[in-house]
Chains A and B, each alone.
Chain A
Amino acid sequence: MNLDVPNSWIVLESVTGDSEVLSFDPFDSFAHIGKAFAKWGAIYAAHAELGKFQAQINSALASKRTIVAERRDDLSYRANRIDLSKARFLRVLEIRLHPGHEREFAEAFKGLTAAYEKTESDLPWVVYQLNVGMPSPTFFAFVPMRTLAQNDDLRNLRDLLPEAKGEAAERMQQIARAVYANTESNLYAISPEKSHVSKEFAAGDPEFWTPQPPAPMRVAAKKSGKNKPTQ
């Protein structure tokens, strides 16, 4: 059976924090989500066996939380340089604020962005603001990484940041103390075999997203003579 599914998803498995799986599903708009929702409804109506699978999966879950968040370019750092197809890990910072302090948070993060610009860091991040699904105001900063070693770069940058922040450093600390309800930072590994991405996305790193069959199969094919050059 070949299903034409209406959206993509990238599955992330926790490396730190509580053991969990996080699905990162890209959309353009709520209208896009609505169309996907409707199409999935039709798919499930046409394939009753999927409903059974769904029930089995639901019975295996200990907990599930779904949220939708929107990108905040003004709080992101060089987000236009991010290529998600090249990432292997995501560092995710979740920041929950006390109500009514979004403006101060934005001020602090813009200051942080300016400081990172001074360091010329090549570790871009993208910030999303919670729209629906959990207590707000909440923000998420995603740092895509090719390797976990890039966390060392992040640690080294912290030593440079106070100087780069300059006079704004104390103000940013004041804001953090006053408006942050809590923060949590975790690392996730991208699981290509559990993800479903478009051909265009996979083309960004075909070896990772569309791995070749295991070697024994290729050896078997050669032995059968299928790969012999024609004369």
Chain B
Amino acid sequence: MTTAHYIAMVAAFVLICAGGATGQTKGAIQSETAPPKLVMLVYQRFPFDKATESGKALAPQHVLV
């Protein structure tokens, strides 16, 4: 992975995380911090054991399933 590649991935993460999350169901039975009714689990593996480094940009990755 090149440095430019890494920087771009971090930038993507920062870009996405700049805003607040909306779309949460208000007035749901469970509280905000309780286990959700549904969970989407996204398992991601990176080559060359780069998981920690690449993980900085993972947040926007999983939403495009």
Q: How far is the CA of A195 from the CA of B49 in the complex (A)?
A: 20
Q: Is A57 an interface residue (CB 8 A)?
A: yes
SS class, residues of chain A in contact with chain B = mixed
List of A residues within 8 angstroms of B59 by Cβ: 9, 11, 23, 194-196
List of B residues within 8 angstroms of A162 by Cβ: none
Q: Specify which of B32, B61, B62, B63 is in contact with A198 (CB 8 Å cutoff).
A: B32
**Shortest CB distance A33–B (Å):** 7
Q: Is B44 an interface residue (CB 8 A)?
A: yes
Q: Is A171 an interface residue (CB 8 A)?
A: no
Query: Number of B residues whose C-beta is below 8 Å from A?
Result: 51
Which of chain B's residues has its CB closest to A125's CB?
Answer: B35
Q: How far is the CA of A64 from the CA of B34 in the complex (A)?
A: 26
Interchain CB contact under 8 A, B9 and A199: no
* Contact A61:B60 (CB < 8 A) given known A8-B24, A27-B36, A28-B37: no
Within 8 A of B (CB), among A69-125: 69-71, 76, 79-80, 82-86
Q: For this complex, into which size category does the number of interface residues on chain A fall?
A: 35 or more
List of A residues within 8 angstroms of B56 by Cβ: 194
List of B residues within 8 angstroms of A180 by Cβ: none
Interchain CB contact under 8 A, B33 and A204: yes
Interchain CB contact under 8 A, A57 and B55: no
Interchain CB contact under 8 A, A84 and B34: yes
Q: Rank and list the top 8 A-B pairs by shortest CB-CB distance, nearest first.
A: A26-B36, A53-B12, A3-B19, A6-B23, A25-B40, A23-B42, A85-B33, A126-B35
B-side interface residues toward A, CB under 8 Å? 1, 5, 8-9, 11-13, 15-25, 28, 32-47, 49-52, 54-65
A-side interface residues toward B, CB under 8 Å? 1-9, 11, 13-14, 18-30, 32-33, 35-37, 39-40, 44, 47, 49-50, 52-54, 56-58, 60-71, 76, 79-80, 82-86, 126, 128, 131, 133, 140, 142, 191, 194-201, 204
